[in-house]
Structure 1
Amino acid sequence: MSFSDQVRDPVHGFILWGKDVARGIVDIVDTPTFQRLRRIRQLAFAHYVYPGATHTRFEHSLGVFHIAGRLADKMKLSRSNRNLVLQAALLHDIGHGPFSHVSENVLEKFYDERKVQLEEKEKIHEMVTWDIIRHDENLARCISSSQKRNDIIKLLSEGYGDQILKDIVSGPLDADKMDYLLRDSLYCGVRYGIYDLDQLISSLVPGDDPSGGKTLMIEPDGLHVVEQFVLAKYYITTQVYFHKVRRVTDAMLTRAVCEGIETDNIDELRQLYTYDGSPEFAHRYLEWDDERLLREYTSERYNGKVIYDIFNRLRYRRLYKLIYSKSVNEFRGEVYYQQLSIMKPDDPRLKKLESVIADSLDKKNYEVIVSLQDVKNVKEAAGSEGPVMVRLKAPEEARPFEQESSLFRSINEKLLERCLDCYLAIEDKNDRRKQEKRVEKVIKEELPVVLGKGGMNDAEHE
């Protein structure tokens, strides 16, 4: 690319490469490492329910770059800090694996605990991103200084310099969310994630951070647009990201890869997802994308493998069916309610329940998926990445958004919405109603038994 180039984007119009943008930033886009993002869809198989949702991490990253630039200009960042923010914005998703968040689940399950020490709140896919920035030769040619690469990594992780730099790239009102809400809404053909981007950026101001630096705040006049932004994020999460077809395709993808590693014993797949922090892992990881993973494991040489069966179901949209879904709150009064409300989604007791259901229906174990799905209430979702602060008339005064917003003060607190779901491979649609009744009966009878074994009390006395 040259500095005079511009990209026509369906969300933001023209994304311009200004003359004040360092050449290395522009060159990043043309690297094979960044171009790989063209082959990783933003929302995995969401296009099976929203046909237009075939957009990728590539255009999203350009959008984040664009908004980060607008925010940097609004905050009057120095040229060096602006370029650092732009580099971090462009590279924030560079570590996404095939089918994006599905790879995150598998990486968390199979990483090498002997070689990788996770700090609190650290995630494996974020560490993969840092390793790619640190070790990738293509990126090194664009960002030649190892110190600059380390600065980008710091900004994407614990932060670098003033808090305001981190806020732009990763915070409650960051460029990432600002882009994906509008982009996902556009490509899905929905309006759940729509908000006034121009007004939101106009309402943001630098405020004094307790540590003595600067942080991103909103002016009192911006309360309503932040309310709109927070509600947009909540509604698109419940209506799009947690749509039942999206949930089942993600569950099938995760199960297929895990079965490919644990049951099919595919060494290549195990190497792909066993993160060990080495440069070799990062190099190997960058060779894979959505297209290659699906093409490879639907080839005839894997016929007879579990991953082949599930991936071909996905390929031809022969999806598992949501056969049972019940709010965990409906189990109140049961002796196992507390366990069910706090247990982790990968708890082995869920696998035991799957096995019992499979046996009762004469199904293979991998044809039954039991999962726990969590949706945060709107207040918790609003503050999940730190408080949004409202800067009051006096520059040194600030108050949390939730206290200043009359709308959010009026919203009643609601418990975390957690659902127990069961997906089933069903070949005969006419058989579905009968299967639903059988699954409901099995869960009602066996859930207390399964949770009673290895439960919290048992573990405490071992």
Structure 2
Amino acid sequence: MIIDPVHGDIGLSKLETEIINTPTFQRLRRLKQLGFASFVYPSASYNRFSHSLGVLYLSSRVAEVFRRKDLVAQKDIRKLRLAALLHDIGHYPYSHLMEFINLEGVSPYLQRKNHTHPKNVLKRYPSHDKLGKLIVTKRKDISKLLKDNKIDPKEIAAIIAGEHPEIPNILHRSLDVDRLDYLVRDAHNTGLPYGRVDINYIINNLEISANKEMVLKSKARLSAEHLLLSRYFMFNAVYFHKTVFGFEELVRKTIVLLMRHGEIYAPEQIEEMVVENSDKFLKFDDSYLDNIFDKYASLNNNNILNILCAAIKYRHPPKLVYEVTDLTSGQASEEYTKFHSFLLHHLKSVTRKKRLNSELIFWAEPRNIRFEALNPFMSLSKIAQKAFNEAEIGELVKLVTRDGKIINLVEDEKSIIYHLGQLNVKSIRLYAIGINDKTLNSLKREMKRYISN
């Protein structure tokens, strides 16, 4: 039994306890769930370990509802719980941060340093889902426990990926146990009110469709709307907060520079560590990056890596030079378009003119925040014609009406999501490190002049 501040008592089976006690699972204790959010919200420093236990608990709640309705076999509940427990086992240090790094420019540096695989260096790190599948099926401390208990690791990996032919997908939906836990847990740990969704009512109104999809009774529509709106607010207030996002972009930039110096594992090395059961993978946690940042922060030689790593270690936030945000259903605004053009075509010349180091100035676009995965005004036939992939359509919250008809929430004209679903937030931000206020204000004026012309 584990006592959790969000869900209360969480019961564990013998096998679940044994998996939790493996070195590979214990690594999750050393991975922050919210990356650098604790730099803004001091209590938001909880880990993937506690989130995984929360998802296990909610999966058990959902499975019990399905069992009472004879929608899932008793033997499958055990597998659902294990999949929920292991769903985040492949995460990187500081959560999703490393997954979104573009490594296209790193290969030449690795070649010069005689890297083992210079010509085959991947352009991005493998997704945490891909690493998770490798861990569950290949890493001995996990896979052997499953096999010893007559459970096929490949079947657990398929459930995690939402690809099992018989067991419903409860981990990869707009409405799933993963989101239900992290929204409530993130709200609890940040102190924000946005994520306090009605978990009980949602779970008690879940059903399974004939094609094994998880659907929600239409009477619980308001609770589903609340969840989607809560997710939207949490993205704006926490995940894409200007300081949180600024630090994460700073770290991504720093990691690329460190890779050029041979200081950071390349993507294929991480896969090898997993498959070869290397103990190095157990140390591939937040402290792995922290130790490298500390090393360069302590050099005091005022080179680029020293400045960037010191900013991370001592919490010197990147200054937001300029930002444009659109809430739109169509084309970007003129201001957004002009700012984007300035960054692409004029930023380098402006930084040279002001004698600024271009390595200390960076810009990024947080990925668009949408109320739902697809535009509500597209019928399913139009979706099919436009060849949206099955995963995108499957992501949508689905309602089952009293007469048994299944519809996407985003297509329900009675739902506020029908009207909001077409909207998405587009944002573009320019940051600077180690810039004084006089230069910062001068740079801001330059932006405004260009955009206003």
AA matched with 2:424? L
Structure 2: distance between partners of 1:351 and 1:277: 37
Q: 2:141 maps to which residue?
A: 138
AA matched with 2:188? L
Q: 1:201 maps to which residue?
A: 203
Q: Is the counterpart of residue 13 in structure 1 residue 8 in structure 2? A: yes
Q: Report the CA distance between 1:386 and its aligned residue.
A: 2.3
Contact 2:58-2:177 within 8 A present in 1 as well: yes
Contact 1:207-1:217 within 8 A present in 2 as well: yes
Q: Report the CA distance between 1:377 and its aligned residue.
A: 3.1
Q: Report the CA distance between 1:215 and its aligned residue.
A: 2.1
Q: Which residue, out of 145, 158, 163, partners 1:159?
A: 163
| 1:16-415 equivalences in 2 (<5 Å) | 16-17=11-12, 21=13, 23-76=14-67, 77-106=72-101, 124-144=127-147, 148-157=152-161, 159-162=163-166, 164=168, 166=169, 168-209=170-211, 214-262=212-260, 265-266=261-262, 268-271=263-266, 279=274, 283=278, 284-299=280-295, 303=299, 304=301, 306-327=304-325, 332=333, 337=337, 355-380=348-373, 386-395=395-404, 397-404=405-412, 406-408=414-416, 411=419, 414-415=422-423
Q: 1:346 maps to which residue?
A: none
Contact 1:256-1:306 within 8 A present in 2 as well: no
Q: 1:449 maps to which residue?
A: none
**Partner-residue secondary structure (3-state), 2:363:** strand
Structure 2: distance between partners of 1:280 and 1:358: 45
Q: Report the CA distance between 1:285 and its aligned residue.
A: 3.6
Structure 2: distance between partners of 1:318 and 1:286: 29
Question: Identity over aligned residues, as a percent?
Answer: 22
| Change in 2 beyond 3 A, CA 1:278/1:114 | farther
Q: Report the CA distance between 1:413 and its aligned residue.
A: 5.8
**Partner-residue secondary structure (3-state), 1:144:** helix
Q: Report the CA distance between 1:429 and its aligned residue.
A: 3.7
Contact 2:93-2:285 within 8 A present in 1 as well: yes
Using the size of structure 1 for normalisation, the TM-score is: 0.79
Q: Report the CA distance between 1:337 and its aligned residue.
A: 4.4
Q: How many residue pairs were aligned?
A: 415
| Change in 2 beyond 3 A, CA 1:113/1:208 | farther
AA matched with 1:44? G
Contact 1:234-1:381 within 8 A present in 2 as well: no
| Change in 2 beyond 3 A, CA 1:182/1:405 | farther
Contact 1:103-1:254 within 8 A present in 2 as well: yes
Using the size of structure 2 for normalisation, the TM-score is: 0.81
AA matched with 2:397? V
Q: More deviation in 414-423 or 313-322? A: 414-423
| Change in 2 beyond 3 A, CA 1:366/1:409 | closer
Contact 1:322-1:423 within 8 A present in 2 as well: yes
Structure 1: distance between partners of 2:122 and 2:251: 27
Structure 1: distance between partners of 2:199 and 2:173: 16
| Change in 2 beyond 3 A, CA 1:178/1:127 | same
Contact 2:137-2:154 within 8 A present in 1 as well: yes
| Change in 2 beyond 3 A, CA 1:71/1:382 | farther
Contact 2:97-2:252 within 8 A present in 1 as well: yes
Q: 2:442 maps to which residue?
A: 434
Q: Report the CA distance between 1:411 and its aligned residue.
A: 2.2
The CA deviation string for residues 75-116 of structure 1, in whole angstroms up to 9 with x for no partner, is 113233112111111111111111111111237767979769
AA matched with 1:237? F
The CA deviation string for residues 331-376 of structure 1, in whole angstroms up to 9 with x for no partner, is 6469x949969xxxxxxx9677654343233222220111122333
AA matched with 2:52? S
Q: Report the CA distance between 1:15 and its aligned residue.
A: 0.9
Structure 1: distance between partners of 2:48 and 2:7: 16
Structure 2: distance between partners of 1:113 and 1:198: 51
AA matched with 1:45? F
Structure 2: distance between partners of 1:409 and 1:183: 24
Q: Which runs of 4 or more aligned residues in structure 1 lie more than 4 Å from their structure 2 counterparts after TM superposition? A: 107-118, 272-282, 328-334, 336-341, 349-354, 381-385, 412-415, 439-445
**Structure 1 alignment gaps of length 5 or more:** 1-5, 342-348, 446-462
Q: Report the CA distance between 1:279 and its aligned residue.
A: 4.5
Structure 1: distance between partners of 2:446 and 2:434: 13
Q: Report the CA distance between 1:393 and its aligned residue.
A: 2.5
Structure 2: distance between partners of 1:367 and 1:174: 40
AA matched with 1:416? N
AA matched with 1:177? R
Structure 1: distance between partners of 2:118 and 2:227: 38
Contact 1:391-1:399 within 8 A present in 2 as well: yes
The CA deviation string for residues 299-323 of structure 1, in whole angstroms up to 9 with x for no partner, is 2697356444312211111111110
Contact 2:32-2:47 within 8 A present in 1 as well: yes
| Change in 2 beyond 3 A, CA 1:202/1:288 | same
**Partner-residue secondary structure (3-state), 1:218:** strand
| Change in 2 beyond 3 A, CA 1:150/1:425 | same
Q: Compute the RMSD of aligned alpha carbons.
A: 3.4
Contact 1:115-1:277 within 8 A present in 2 as well: no
Structure 2: distance between partners of 1:170 and 1:99: 21
AA matched with 2:426? R
Structure 2: distance between partners of 1:131 and 1:412: 38
| Change in 2 beyond 3 A, CA 1:132/1:357 | farther
Q: Report the CA distance between 1:259 and its aligned residue.
A: 1.1
AA matched with 1:389? K
| Change in 2 beyond 3 A, CA 1:86/1:169 | same
Q: 1:458 maps to which residue?
A: none
Structure 1: distance between partners of 2:90 and 2:423: 33
Q: 2:111 maps to which residue?
A: none
Structure 2: distance between partners of 1:413 and 1:401: 10
Structure 2: distance between partners of 1:387 and 1:232: 16
